A and B are shown apart, each in its own frame.
Chain A
C-alpha cells in the first residue's frame, strides 16, 4: 500500500484525538483521546519505518538496516504511555474521591 494511506489514517486519528481533547468534558474520555493521539504517532512511525527500510532495500547504501529505530521508538512511546496512564488514572481517582465527579468543568476553581 502506498505510504499516503498510512499518513492520512494517522493524521485522521490524531485529529480525532485533538478534537476529543478540546471538546469532551469527561476526564476519562479526554484521557482516551490523548492515547489515541499517541497511537496515531505510533502507527505513523511504524509505517515510516517500513517505508525507509523498503527504500533502503531497493538501493542499499550507508548504515545497515535503517528503519529499525522507528520501531524502537514505538516501544519507548508505549512504555512512557503506560507510565503516564498509571499516574493519570491515580490522579483521576484521587480527584473522584474528593469531588465524586469526573467532569472537567470542575477545573475552573483556580481561575480567580
Chain B
C-alpha cells in the first residue's frame, strides 16, 4: 500500500515540479530521492510499518512475495535512474514528465504485484501500459519513435480489449471478480463461458509479456523507442507484468494446472525457439536485445509452468538477474553512437572498464556459472524438473540457452578480438561506479542467491 500511494503522489509531484525546477540536475535529484523514499517505505512495509491503513475490501493483499518483488523492482529502477537518468533528460524538452510517467508505471507495477481481483489486475496492467505509450513516443520529431508508439498503442489497446472481454466472460460464469474463489469454481467443472474467458485472459497477458506467438510487436517497438525507455520497458515493466501473471495463475489457473499445462508448454517452446533463433540473425545490438528479451521471457514462463515454491523464488531471482544485466547493457549501449555489432569493435582496448562490465552482464544473460543468470536459470529448470512432466521442455530450454551463448558472445568477441576504431567514450566516474556495483551484485547473487529470499519466509 505504501508504495502504491507514494509512487502516485510522487508522480504527480514530479509532474508539477517541471514548473519550479528548470535545471535537469534538480529534476534528476528529485526523482532519485523519490525512488529512495519509495524503496524505503516498501521495505518498511515488509517489516510491518504501514503508513496508510486503507480498507481495500480484499481487492489488494500484500504478502511478503509481492513486497519483496516490489523491493527488487524498485531497486532495479534506482540503479536504472542512477545510470541512465542523464540520458532521460536528453530525450526531449519535457524533462520532469518522463520521470513522473516512470513513477506512474511503478505504481501500476505495485498494484499488479498485489491484486486480488480481476478489477485490480486490469487497472494495474493499464496503469503500466498507458504511460509507456507516451514514453515510447517521447522522441516526437523522430519517425521511428512515432511509429513505435503508434504500433505499441494499437497492439496494447487491442490486447486490453481482449482482456476486458475475457474478464467479462469469467464474470458471467462466476458472478464475482475474486481470483481467490476461482479455484473452487473451477473444480466444479468448466463451462464454455469460463473456458473462453480464461483463454482470452491468457492471450492478452501473453501479449503484454510478449510471449510467442504474440510477440510480433516487441522487436519493432523496442527498436523504435528511445533507447533509455527501451531499457525500462524491457526490464522492470516486463518483470512487473510477469508477477501479475504468476499471481493470476496462483489463484485462477492453479487448480486445473493439468489442463492448462499443454497451453503453457506450447507458449514456452514457441517463445524460446523464436526468441533465440531470430536473435541470431540480428545486425543491431538493440534489436538483438529485443529478441533476447523475448527469449528470456520464455525462461520466466517456466515459473507458470512448474508453479511451486522453487519457481516463485526462481522468478524473483530471474527478474533481479535479468533486470540488472539488461539495464547495464543498455546503459552502455546508450552511450554508443553505432548500435551494430561492429560498433563494439575494439572496445576492450579503448574502454577497458566498460568492456569488462559489459562482459559480465552478457555472461549473466547467457547463463554462465558464477553469475546470477546461471542461478536463476538453474532455479527455473530445477523447478520444472520437480514437476516430473514434460522433460523434453527442459532439454529444449538448455539447448536454447546454448544458442543464446552464440549471439551474446558475438558482442564479447567484437569487444576483445576484433580490431576497430571504436572511440573512447567519455563517461563520468559515478557511471563507472554504477556499472561496477551492478556487476558485483550480479556475481553476489550468483554465489548467494538466498539473500533475496530471506524476507520471503521470515
How many chain A residues sit at the interface, stated as a range, is: 35 or more
Residue contact B172 to A91, C-beta cutoff 8 Å: no
B120 smallest CB distance to A (angstroms): 10
Q: Is A72 an interface residue (CB 8 A)?
A: yes
Residue contact A34 to B167, C-beta cutoff 8 Å: no
Bound complex: CA of A10 vs CA of B164, how far in Å?
A: 12
The interface residues of chain A lying within 8 Å CB-to-CB of B148 are 110
Residue contact A87 to B123, C-beta cutoff 8 Å: no
B81 smallest CB distance to A (angstroms): 24
Residue contact B220 to A88, C-beta cutoff 8 Å: no
The interface residues of chain A lying within 8 Å CB-to-CB of B158 are 21, 34, 37
Contact A91:B150 (CB < 8 A) given known A67-B175, A80-B123, A110-B224: yes
Please count how many residues in chain B sit with their CB below 8 Å of the partner chain's CB atoms: 39
Candidates A69, A70, A84, A106; contact of B157 at CB < 8 Å: A84
B197 smallest CB distance to A (angstroms): 10
Q: Is B387 an interface residue (CB 8 A)?
A: no
Bound complex: CA of A7 vs CA of B144, how far in Å?
A: 41
Residue contact B137 to A37, C-beta cutoff 8 Å: no
B198 smallest CB distance to A (angstroms): 15
Candidates A18, A30, A69; contact of B154 at CB < 8 Å: A30
Residue contact A73 to B171, C-beta cutoff 8 Å: yes
Bound complex: CA of A66 vs CA of B137, how far in Å?
A: 42
Contact A110:B157 (CB < 8 A) given known A37-B165, A73-B171, A91-B133: no
B337 smallest CB distance to A (angstroms): 20
Bound complex: CA of A70 vs CA of B412, how far in Å?
A: 54
Bound complex: CA of A27 vs CA of B157, how far in Å?
A: 13
The interface residues of chain B lying within 8 Å CB-to-CB of A10 are 168
Contact A38:B160 (CB < 8 A) given known A14-B165, A91-B137: yes
A45, closest chain B residue (CB): B168
B444 smallest CB distance to A (angstroms): 38
The interface residues of chain B lying within 8 Å CB-to-CB of A95 are 146-147, 149-150
Proximity bits, A81-112, B CB within 8 Å = 1, else 0: 00110011011101100110000101101110
Residue contact A107 to B151, C-beta cutoff 8 Å: yes
Which B residues fall within an 8 A CB radius of A? 119, 122-123, 126, 130, 133-134, 137, 140-141, 143-144, 146-151, 153-154, 157-158, 160-162, 164-165, 167-169, 171-172, 175-177, 219-220, 223-224
Given contacts A73-B167, A80-B122, 11 further A-B contacts (CB under 8 A): A10-B168, A14-B165, A27-B150, A34-B158, A37-B162, A41-B161, A45-B168, A88-B157, A104-B150, A110-B223, A111-B220
A-B residue pairs, 5 tightest by C-beta:
A37-B161, A41-B164, A48-B172, A52-B175, A44-B168
